[in-house]
């Protein structure tokens, strides 16, 4: 096993998650200040939703499904903040493996399951799994081998990608009638692009946070959920007894001793 296996795979699913949001063109540009969401245009609501997303200090991001065009179904549950803290999990889909992720301050932990070791670390994965056992791999946030994971755990990185891709407005944006999403009142915004339907449900009361994005068509069937805005990331981290240093692991033989 080498460090890039972790970073490269993490970068792949991070890109898929981010593009499912920022590549939609649903979140627009500009600012609207009207108070009554019922009287706002679709674009004004999209603008306010984008601004609310960019202003939050922390959130919970949930994704599941298939983005189509040969992509692999995957899922993510991650609470993250602007300080680079995060806590959650990723499932690469199709029995390719999953991992728990925790980052706090300058430290990051990852706990792969057996499928991850087998499929993502084909050279020595079973041996490394035997060495680590039921523990987290612990590394430094500035370790270049874990840089993709470190960036994934930083809300600033995610918000910059949203902002940088906010002006992709291909396709007509339509405003639907107010409805409910669970216990929340929402306004759905719909855009068609390249035989794909994108629907963004925006909170109709309080701050106009984006609460759910669905992507369907052209092989895609995915859902992105946003929640727990400005709520703190869990502070609990794995204990020393539950951790194994990633540098020590990578310096060992692939045959456990």
Asked if the structure places residue 167 within a domain, the reply is yes
Token pair for 80: 């993250």
Q: Could you tell me how many helices (H) and strands (E) the chain has, helices first?
A: 7, 13
Secondary structure (DSSP) of 172-199:
-EEE---EEETTEEEEEEEEEETTEEEE
Q: Does 56 map to a domain?
A: yes
Confidence class for position 26, pLDDT limits 50, 70, 90:
low
Binning pLDDT at 50, 70 and 90, where does residue 237 land? Answer: very high
Residue 256 lies in a domain: no
pLDDT interval class at 252 (50, 70, 90) = low
Tell me: pLDDT of 32 over 50: no
Place 152 in a pLDDT band, splitting at 50, 70 and 90. confident
HSE (side-chain half, CA atoms, 13 Å) at 164: 8
The answer to whether position 112 is within a domain reads no
Please give the mean pLDDT across all residues of the chain: 81
Looking at the domain assignment, is residue 205 inside a domain?
yes
Task: State pLDDT tens for residues 94-150.
Answer: 888 899 999 999 999 999 999 988 887 777 788 889 999 999 999 998 888 777 777
Does residue 136 sit within a domain?
A: no
The pLDDT tens digits of the residues spanning 177-202 come to 999 999 999 999 998 877 888 899 99
Q: Does 255 map to a domain? A: no
Residue 18: predicted pLDDT: 54
Report whether pLDDT(226) > 80.
yes
Residue 118 lies in a domain: no
| CA separation, residue 41 to residues 11, 47, 175, 215, 255 (Å) | 36, 10, 7, 22, 63
Under 8 Å CB-to-CB from 122, ≥6 apart: which residues? Answer: none
**Of the given ranges (11-20, 121-130, 156-165, 223-232), which has the lowest mean pLDDT?**
11-20
Share of the chain above pLDDT 90, in %: 40
* Band of residue 167 on the pLDDT scale cut at 50, 70, 90: low
Alpha helices, H only, 32-189: 42-55, 114-120, 125-132, 147-152, 155-164
Residue 255: per-residue pLDDT = 43
Domain with residue 215: its CATH number is: 2.50.20.20
Give the pLDDT confidence score for residue 23 in this predicted structure.
46
Model pLDDT for residues 60-87, shown as the tens digit of each residue: 999 888 877 667 788 889 999 999 999 9
Domain ranges, residue 150: 3-92+143-237
Question: How many structural domains comprise the chain?
Answer: 1
Task: Say whether pLDDT at 59 is over 90.
Answer: yes
pLDDT at 256: 41
**pLDDT of 29 over the 80 cut:** no
């Amino acid at each position: 096993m080498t460090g890039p296996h972790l970073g490269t795979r993490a970068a792949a699913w991070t890109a898929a998650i981010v593009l499912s949001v920022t590549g939609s063109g649903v979140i627009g540009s500009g600012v609207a200040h009207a108070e009554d969401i019922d009287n706002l245009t679709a674009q004004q609501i999209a603008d306010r939703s984008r601004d609310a997303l960019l202003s939050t200090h922390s959130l919970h991001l949930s994704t599941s499904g298939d983005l189509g065009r040969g992509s692999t179904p995957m899922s993510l549950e991650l609470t993250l903040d602007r300080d680079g803290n995060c806590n959650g999990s990723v499932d690469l889909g199709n029995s390719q493996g999953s991992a728990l992720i925790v980052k706090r301050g300058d430290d990051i932990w990852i706990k792969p399951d057996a499928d991850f070791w087998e499929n993502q670390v084909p050279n020595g994965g079973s041996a490394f799994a035997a060495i680590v056992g039921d523990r987290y791999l612990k590394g430094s946030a500035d370790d270049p081998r874990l840089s993709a994971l470190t960036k994934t755990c930083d809300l600033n990185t995610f918000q910059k990608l949203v902002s940088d891709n906010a002006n992709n407005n291909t396709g007509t944006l339509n405003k639907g009638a107010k409805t409910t999403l669970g216990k929340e009142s929402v306004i759905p915004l719909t855009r068609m692009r390249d035989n794909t339907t994108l629907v963004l449900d925006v909170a109709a009361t309080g701050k106009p946070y984006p609460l759910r994005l669905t992507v369907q068509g052209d092989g895609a069937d995915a859902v992105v959920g946003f929640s727990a805005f400005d709520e703190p990331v869990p502070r609990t981290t794995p204990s020393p007894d539950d951790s194994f240093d990633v540098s020590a692991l990578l310096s060992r033989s692939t045959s456990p001793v």
